Amino acid sequence: MSGRYAKWVTQLEVGTLIDLDDVQRAFPDKTRDALKMALGRICEADDPLLARMTRGIYCRRMLGERSLTGVPLNDSTPLEAWAALPWRLAGLGSGLTGINIVNKVGWSTQVPVRYWIAVVGRPPQHPEVEVLFVGRSNQLRRNLTIWEVSLLEAVRCFDDWSEMSWDDALDRFRWKSQRGSYGNNKIRQDLFLQTAKAEKGLGSEFQTRCAALATAATAGLST
């Protein structure tokens, strides 16, 4: 039976992250305990197909790396997998927060030491991932993209981290949007503002700033 699981794993692209739910969908006839044991056996092989990234999450790895490099298993997994791992843990409705997002949109020159990610609900407890997770209660965030949630957080964290006034920050955001500095990221204005209104305890100024930011983003993408 272990060969059946290994065959499924070999079909995954190197660097793919999976969890028990992914495996359960592939093998709906098996119990979760049986799947946990199967994943454990695959990870403990001499040249394993999977690396355990953190509790309950695994990464498809390249065969031969362990014996050739002699480095610990986690160090031989693709760097892209480590970058994707915090977002896998964060789930729907997550986005950058704190100095990370304020720096990303160009309102601060401070360079963040580690990722700060806002999540919906209780923050994940995975200290080995070295990411600061911050819990938020607004369930409507689950309908937004990472970029949209991040912009909510940019406005929320503005007074704590920005190195410029709000008017200057808004002008810079509009200018960078027009230049395409934020890529193809868009704001769905109605949904964004509906979610902003559901943020608790932030007052009318937060709503006004979110509306101004959404307008600036829309104007930037239409030019």
| Predicted local distance difference test score (pLDDT) of residue 69 | 37
| Predicted local distance difference test score (pLDDT) of residue 132 | 92
| Predicted local distance difference test score (pLDDT) of residue 104 | 93
| Predicted local distance difference test score (pLDDT) of residue 113 | 84
| Predicted local distance difference test score (pLDDT) of residue 130 | 82
List, in order, residues 6 or more apart from 217 with CB less than 8 Å away: 151, 173, 177, 182, 186, 187
Strand partners, 95: 118
40: its two tokens: 């454990």
Q: CA-to-CA distance for 208 and 196, rounded, in angstroms?
A: 10
Q: What are the residue ranges in the chain where pLDDT is below 50?
A: 1, 66-76, 221-223
Q: Kindly report the length of the chain.
A: 223
End-to-end CA distance of the chain: 58
